[in-house]
Amino acid sequence: MKAKVYVTIKQSVLDPQGVAVQGALHSLGFNEVESLRVGKYMELELGDVSKEAAGDRVKEMCEKLLANTVVEDYRYELEG
């Protein structure tokens, strides 16, 4: 089982890094970029577990460590 975890800064929270990267794209002529948010992508190899069990465990990992839910949102995908 493989899990892909995406962590992004909440929409309500300013992402200075995203703003800076968006500015850089604009200066390169990519003016269509209306918004950009920088996040984190993590790949987890989970071994031989059921999808349901993996989902519960990954959610717990996100809540406890992988995301700080005060300022970040997370979502994940399970494969295999």
Interface residue list for another protein (CB under 8 A): 9, 12-14, 16-17, 20, 40, 65-66, 68, 70-71
Of 13, 2, 3, residue with least CA distance to 39: 13
Query: Of 26 and 40, which has the nearer Cβ to another protein?
Result: 40
Least Å from the CB of residue 22 to another protein: 12
Q: Convert 6-33 into a string of H (helix), E (strand) and C (coil).
A: EEEECCCCCCHHHHHHHHHHHHCCCCCC
CB-nearer residue toward another protein: 28 or 65:
65
Q: Which is nearer to another protein, 24 or 50 (CB)?
A: 24
* Single-letter residue type at 67: A
Q: Shortest gap between Cβ of 17 and another protein (angstroms)?
A: 6
73 and 67 in contact (C-beta within 8 Å)? Answer: yes
